[in-house]
Amino acid sequence: MRILVTGATGNIGRHVVAGLVGAGRRVRAMTRTTQDLHGVEVVTGDFTDPSTWPSALAGVTRMYVFSRVPPELVAQAAEAGVRRFVVHSAAAAGFPPRGRATALDRHLEEERVAHRAVEASVEATGAEWAHIRPGLLAINTLAWAPRVRAERVVREPYPSAGYPVVHEADVADVAVAALVTDDHVGQALTITGPAKVTQVEQVAAIAAAIGEPVRLDELSPEEARVQWLADGCPAGYLDWRLELLADAREGDGALPPTDTFERVAGRPPRTFAQWAIDHAADFR
């Protein structure tokens, strides 16, 4: 059995590759630029260039589908002999429409439609499938890293807001389980971290990981808009990003913790504190 990993050098894909290698599986990594992945077979492939697909798909029977894979590549993979697809999707794919017209609801609906389209393209092949639906990823916190490195400060609105952010390695562990066992065929697996982590707690965990104090300065929503724009955040993201935080000032917000990871892996998910330790060098 040869398993193709698309998005193989991404934040999650690289952990999928490592997990499959650790499980003793034959892995082919598809990347846009040839890289040495410690003995893994690497093929150059581009989602926008169909001429690169046949060499990536030859002899493959299972495939990890990155969220930006086009449906044409999925169909061609099935024709080439892929019998199981594991989709990197998102928790929003399982959200029912909430019937409101807020910026956050519009964003969640756009996310749901986009990710369900990839999932549906896989289901349409008639092959085995599993959908891996992570919630908010802890690695998004790396957006704070430049300011923490330079000033030892984080500036955000709504410091009490937070979600059960998930370690990217946990997402990969579930994907690997779905690729190498038959236990999750036909399942959509929504994965979160173990508990809500407020922005105050996230900053404290980063400070502990690097062994230096890090200050959290609270911004008003208006100040946050100005800073996020200066930091390069697209203007179209500002409203829903603020609403996402405001939604989780009390309680769990749009996505409460799930027990999916523990049911799949047989152990608790990694904490944000562990994630901060794993990424301490990024913040130092």
Q: Domain of 11: which CATH number?
A: 3.40.50.720
Q: Which residues pair with 27 in a beta bridge?
A: 3
Q: For residue 39, what pLDDT is reported?
A: 72
Within a domain: 57: yes
Q: For residue 274, what pLDDT is reported?
A: 98
Q: For residue 40, what pLDDT is reported?
A: 86
Judge whether residue 121 has pLDDT over 80.
Answer: yes
Judge whether residue 99 has pLDDT over 80.
Answer: no
Q: For residue 255, what pLDDT is reported?
A: 87
Within a domain: 199: no
Mean pLDDT of 238-265: 92
Q: With contact defined as beta carbons under 8 Å apart, do 1 and 26 qualify? A: yes
Q: For residue 34, what pLDDT is reported?
A: 66
Q: Look up residue 177 and give its two tokens.
A: 């389980």
- CA 252 to chain centroid, in Å, comes to 19
Mean pLDDT of 85-110: 89
Q: For residue 156, what pLDDT is reported?
A: 97
Name which residue leads in pLDDT, 254 or 37. Answer: 254
Quote the domain boundaries for residue 39: 2-136+167-192+255-269
Judge whether residue 122 has pLDDT over 80.
Answer: yes
Q: With contact defined as beta carbons under 8 Å apart, do 213 and 152 qualify? A: yes
Query: If phi over 0 gives left and psi between -120 and 50 gives alpha, with beta otherwise, what is residue 157?
Result: beta
Beta strands in the chain (DSSP E): 2-6, 26-31, 41-44, 62-65, 84-88, 128-134, 153-156, 162-163, 188-191, 197-198, 215-218
Separation between Cα atoms, residue 182 and residue 131, nearest integer Å: 13
Domain count along the chain: 1
Q: With bands split at pLDDT 50, 70 and 90, how would you rate the model's confidence at 125?
A: very high
Burial per residue of 232-253, b for 16 or more beta-carbon CB atoms within 10 angstroms, e otherwise: eeeeeebbbbbbbbebbeeeeb
Burial per residue of 92-114, b for 16 or more beta-carbon CB atoms within 10 angstroms, e otherwise: bbbbeeeeeeebbbebbbebbee
- pTM, full prediction: 0.94
Within a domain: 262: yes
Within a domain: 52: yes
Q: With bands split at pLDDT 50, 70 and 90, how would you rate the model's confidence at 161?
A: very high
Q: Is 175 exposed, middle or buried (0-12, 13-18, 19+ CB in 10 A)?
A: buried
Within a domain: 222: no
Judge whether residue 37 has pLDDT over 80.
Answer: no
What pLDDT, in 10s, does the model give residues 164-185?
999 999 999 999 999 999 999 9
Separation between Cα atoms, residue 201 and residue 179, nearest integer Å: 34
Judge whether residue 141 has pLDDT over 90.
Answer: yes
